[in-house]
Amino acid sequence: MPRRDDVHRILVIGSGPVVIGQAAEFDYSGSQACLSLREEGYFVVLLNSNPATIQTDHRIADRVYIEPITVEAVERIIARENIDAIEPHMGGQTALNLAVKLKKSGVLDRYGIKIIGTPVESIELAEDREKFYEFLKTMGEPQPARYKIRRDNIEEDIASIPDSPVIVRTSFSLGGTGGSIARSRQDLKNMAENLFRSSDIDYLEVNESLEGMKEIEYEVIRDSFGNCITVCNMENIDPMGVHTGESIVVTPSQTLSDVEYQMLRDSAIRIISGLGIQGACNIQFALSEGRYYIIEVNPRTSRSSALASKATGYPIARIAAKIAAGYGLHEIRNPITKSTYAAYEPSLDYVTVKIPRWPFDKFSVDRTIGVQMKSIGEVMGIGRTFEEAIMKAIASLDNAFSSNIRMHASDEELWKLIERPNDRRLFAIFEGLFRNFDTKKMARLSGYDEYFIEKMENIVEMLKHVEIGHIPENLLHLKRIGIPDEIISSFCGIPADAITKYRIEKNIMPVYKRIDTCSGEFEVVVPYMYSTYEDEDEMPDLKGSIMIIGSGPNRIAQGLEFDYGSVKAILALRDMGYRSIMLNSNPETVSTDFDVSDALFFEPVTPEYVINVINRSGCAGLIVQFSGQTGQNMAKRIEDILGRRIVLGTSTESIERIEDRTVFSKVIEDLGIKQPPFAIAENENDTVRKAVSLGLPIILRSSHVIGGRSMEIIYDMDYLADRAREVFTISKNVLVSKYLENATEMDVDFVSDGSSYNICGILVHIEEAGVHSGDATMVYGPGMVSREVEEKIENIVESMVKEFHLIGLSNLQIAARDDDVYVIELNARSSRSVPFISKATGVDWVRYAVECMMGSKITEKRTEAKSYFIKVSVFPFSKFSDMDVVYGPEMKSTGEAMYPGRTITEALRKSLQRSIRSVLITVRDEDKPRMVDIARIMLDKGIKIYATAGTARYLNDHGISAETLYRVRDRREPRILDMISGGAIDMVINTTEMTAGAVRDGFKIRRMCIMRGIPLIMNVNLAKAYAESLGPIPIDYREIGEYL
């Protein structure tokens, strides 16, 4: 059947900024969908507010709108672009929920818009839990017992629910948001009251808890002709009770019988067909002893879709887009083989294991995991066996366990970690096996199938024979079971790099196999590779290629922005006539799409695996600038092991001089460039002495870290000792620097060729210096930087380029105060802000950087900004109930959004995405004088002012009419929390003294704002900027090129 011709201009809705539960996987699926639809001749318009994505690059769609993802924006875009169809299935829950709102608001009918792919009615049937369970009942499919708690009938509804564990859920939610396990009626009552207080929902869904049962997923794809296949099934190693995004997942399933596999497959196809799905979807089952229950269906591409695509090589989003265009599975060719069709179910002759990456190294919060997601990213390992796949996944995590799987804990502590779902349970089981714990008891307490623990025991038994001081005699056997050199090193005491060199000398090296969707039955044209220690090698000829290493799992401070750089670098190399190799371990990304590079190696991003590919492929150069801190930290090790230069761009010697903060600060001092007063501390006591000599406040800075890890502004000496102890666990020397108060921080990205440079753009932080650049609200636009400051920045950049012979992209962070410019740090790599500044200037800065790395000289000069672009960070606070909303030099945000405007007020106004009629102000004493003018601006715009007692008194004394609200302890009304939960407050401005008591006082206010989705402003500069943007300001939505 030919493609449908009743639609011509299609709007694809993206997922917006990266949040927990909705991350890089939607950049992958959205990019595939846009390209797939354009292949068919459709005019594709994209809406996505996330500038860090490849999806928002001009190569992906015909027209790109980086604007708020709202009903208002979509309606304006529909009218401007003459849209006749919308594809909402590639943008996660954000796009799906918006599609439902567009239908309910009448926009779809008003403009005659078609939803291509799965119809809105099917989306609602799958997403609305009440409708879905009624549907399952008519299908005769088993489901857990279900109850409802209504907002106006809490007591009576709870009384009708058995006093046993239940799961509380909300409809149309993301990453299990709002989901919890209640173990008693009292738990249930507390949860219900909290959820109703913190949201506008009318009812809660309550399900019988199926904790402990196996969780199995099927990735299903169906066309409009009724053809339906399962792309793969996935077995969650963690049992029910742990969100699938939090679980370790193996593909294909390992412990299901043939009967169970087919039973669930048949059920999946019945349900998906009954729902009328047209495209991709995911279905989750609970399974125990031949019995199963349906948990849920996601009627869209999802996190699991991306994982299934990378695990099988079957491009789910690409195929789903073709189905939306009217094709049947029997008509769509498999792009990996080019000879088979999408109607063939993939066949695997290998195993993949996914492990989540949690942010607990950044956040001191409860490490328990459950039905609500907390992980930021994930990695995937591929091997011929489960053992090999899980060890490669562990190596990919890039955390402490990647180099040592042993744990230091008492037996009692280990048993608790094994029983309670948490991020360290896998390694507690490994340690239990080393201590000969009973495997059956571990299986029973953890919910892991005994099969997996037995496989883990195989790994442990091999490692038990490794002796200290010797490279193991059974090294080849250790490698065949998947054990990385780093972990072998932790057992034998020989440096990992020495083991790698020994393997190279003795030719103990892996071969490379292809992912082909067909277990070798058909010839494949795409080199999608993984390593294993076998005999037959399928490595293609890649001599002379350029390798780019990715940044591994998404995590706080190192996420989607670096994948953007990797993909743009690959495209630049292709345009220049070079073949490219991509090495990465992240299944969510565009860079690990098999048809982006000339060859994809799905491997851990560590020196061992990078060197293995370099040696076997004969590549001519290595680019590390787009892998975040991961590549920077391993660059010199790679060259030392190889015994030759291979890193392109800035030399590894310069990288080391820049990354070591103590060396860098001395170089800056010698160059006569200003920097905050500093001292170098060698131990904890020395840190205290240096802090006293500098005077508080100070900042402790470690070397070789990203995202300001362990950095914090220290205001009192009592707190300093604790922080110093933590910092010295990750760094030998620590830079103690004076915190510059009342300074403006700026990010400067630039491209250089070793002597000449070009500044890409200067991003100005709205908040004062001290908030990490990844968290700060930033603006790029005309007139934001004085010419005097700009000239000083240019002089500093020129000095840096010449001193360090910088080639490619670099990022300079400076602070300006009274027209003086101070250097904070330099990064000889691409930064988080490169995608943002590339979209804001319309210049492909990555391309220029790659050209410099390949020997070209700087020619392009920076263009002047014509519009304003605001970068607003997005935080994960709603997922961590014990985490406070306080910003500082250590990064906490998961993602960002861009808001463009012809004026700075228009850009800021877009970022609020709501009307503001009332504001609560509660600020520290030193901020009260500045708040008077800000409050006056708001009053003049008709905004009602509320304030806490001290702030209200100060404002009223200075002629500002402010109504007083009270804390619970004041025992007076109206109370702050009641007003916020009741919807009477539209915005909160809260600043606090950085003492433990003051921070604790405001905790409940800040938490309530986060849970209610109320804008929370915690900085006076930012409050002033937003105050000026309030009121009736004209808002327009334009294609990104129209702002340039």
The DSSP code sequence of 454-477 is HHHHHHHHHHHTPPTTS--TTHHH
CATH number of 353-506: 1.10.1030.10
| For residue 705, pLDDT beyond 80 | no
What lies within 8 Å, CB to CB, of 920 at 6+ separation is 946, 947, 948, 965, 976, 979, 980, 985, 987, 988, 989, 990, 1005
The rounded distance, in Å, linking the Cα atoms of 76 and 135 is: 36
In Å, the largest CA–CA distance within the chain is: 83
Q: What is the pLDDT of residue 592?
A: 96
User: What is residue 334's predicted lDDT score, i.e. its pLDDT?
Assistant: 86
Helix (H) or strand (E) holding 817: strand 807-817
pLDDT digits (tens, 9 = 90+) for 663-682: 999 999 999 999 999 898 88
Q: What confidence tens digit (pLDDT) does each residue in 552-568 have?
A: 999 988 989 999 999 99
Q: Catalogue the E-assigned strands of 598-647.
A: 599-602, 621-623
pLDDT for residue 997 is more than 60: no
Nearest to 339 by CA among 523, 466, 511: 523
Distance of CA 387 to the CA centre of its chain: 27
Please give the share of the chain, as a percent, with pLDDT higher than 90: 74
- Per-residue pLDDT tens for 725-741? 777 777 677 888 999 98
| More confidently predicted of 865 and 997 | 865
How many Cβ atoms from other residues are within 10 Å of residue 629's Cβ? 20
CATH top-level class of 211-234+256-346 = alpha beta
pTM: 0.94
Same fold across 9-116 and 913-1029: yes
Q: How far apart are CA 452 and CA 441, in angstroms?
A: 13
Backbone CA torsion sign across 715, 718, 724, 726: negative
What interhelical angle do 845-853 and 560-575 show, nearest 10?
A: 60
If we measure between CA atoms, which residue out of 474, 528, 503, 167 comes closest to residue 336?
528
CB 206 within 8 A of CB 147: yes
Q: Has domain 9-116 been given CATH number 3.40.50.20?
A: yes
Specify the pLDDT at position 551.
96
CATH topology of domain 744-874: D-amino Acid Aminotransferase; Chain A, domain 1 (3.30.470)
**In the prediction, which pLDDT does 969 show?**
77
* Phi and psi angles of residue 9, each rounded to the nearest 5 degrees, phi first: -120, 115
Examine the pLDDT at 127 and tell me if it is beyond 60: yes
Q: How confident is the model over 804-814, as a mean pLDDT? A: 98
pLDDT band of residue 914 (cuts 50, 70, 90) is: confident
Structure tokens at 434: 């080393």
Q: Give the 3-state secondary structure of residue 537.
A: coil
Contacts of residue 17, defined as CB under 8 A and 6 or more positions apart, other chains included, come to: 49, 50, 874, 894, 895, 896, 897
Across 512-519, average pLDDT: 85
What type of residue is 960?
A: I
The pLDDT tens digits for 188-231 are 988 888 788 767 778 888 888 899 999 999 999 999 999 999 99
pLDDT in tens, 747-778: 999 999 999 999 999 999 998 888 888 889 99
Q: What is d(CA 373, CA 354) in angstroms, rounded to the nearest whole number?
A: 15
Mean pLDDT of 912-926: 92
Q: How confident is the model at residue 32 (pLDDT cuts 50, 70, 90)?
A: very high
Q: What is the pLDDT of residues 929-984, one digit of tens each?
A: 999 999 999 999 999 999 999 999 999 999 999 999 998 778 889 999 889 988 89
Task: Please give the DSSP secondary-structure letter assigned to residue 532.
Answer: E
Indicate the class that CATH gives domain 538-645: alpha beta
Decide if pLDDT at 516 tops 90.
Answer: no
Q: Please enumerate in sequence order all residues whose Cβ is within 8 A of that of 143, keeping only pairs 6 or more positions apart, or say none.
A: 133, 136, 137, 293, 294
Alpha-carbon span 691 to 122, nearest angstrom: 62
**Under CATH, which number does the domain 913-1029 receive?**
3.40.50.1380
**In which band, very low, low, confident or very high, does the pLDDT at 702 lie, cut at 50, 70 and 90?**
confident
Give the fold, CATH level 3, of 145-208: Dna Ligase; domain 1 (3.30.1490)
Interval 513-541 mean pLDDT:
86
Please name the amino acid found at residue 850. V
φ, ψ at 446 (rounded to 5°) = -85, -25
Region 603-610: mean pLDDT is: 98
| Choice among 356-360, 590-594, 873-877, 899-903 with the minimum mean pLDDT | 873-877
pLDDT, position 453: 98
pLDDT of residue 363: 76
Contact 551, 558 (CB under 8 A): yes
Edge to edge, the sheet with strand 963-965 lists: 963-965, 944-948, 918-922, 987-990, 1016-1017
Per the prediction, the chain carries an average pLDDT of 92
- Residues 150-165 have a mean pLDDT of 89
The per-residue pLDDT for 765 is 95
**Cβ atoms of 657 and 825 closer than 8 Å:** no
Angle between helices 684-694 and 717-727 (to 10 degrees): 140
Supply 917's token pair: 């009629």
Cα gap 64→34, rounded to integer Å: 11
Other C-beta atoms lying within 10 Å of the C-beta of residue 741: 11
Helix, strand, or coil (residue 38): helix
pLDDT band at 177 (very low <50, low <70, confident <90, very high): low
Residue 282 to residue 717: CA distance in whole angstroms: 53
**Could you tell me which residues come within 8 angstroms of residue 622 by beta carbon, excluding any fewer than 6 positions away?**
546, 547, 548, 549, 610, 614, 638, 646, 647, 648
Residue 917 phi, psi (nearest 5)? -110, -20
pLDDT band at 520 (very low <50, low <70, confident <90, very high): low
Q: Tell which residue, 327, 324, 301, 326, has the closest CA to residue 314.
A: 301
Indicate the angle between helix axes 628-642 and 607-617, nearest 10 degrees. Answer: 60
Residue ranges of domains in the chain = 9-116, 145-208, 211-234+256-346, 353-506, 538-645, 744-874, 913-1029
Please state the rounded mean pLDDT for residues 71-84. Answer: 98
Q: Which of 347, 447, 359 minimizes the C-alpha distance to 398?
A: 359
Asked if the model's pLDDT at residue 882 lies above 70, the reply is no
Q: Which pair of tokens denotes residue 827?
A: 């990064």
Alpha helices in 330-448 (DSSP H): 386-396, 411-419, 425-434, 439-446
Q: Do 198 and 283 form a contact (C-beta atoms < 8 A)?
A: no
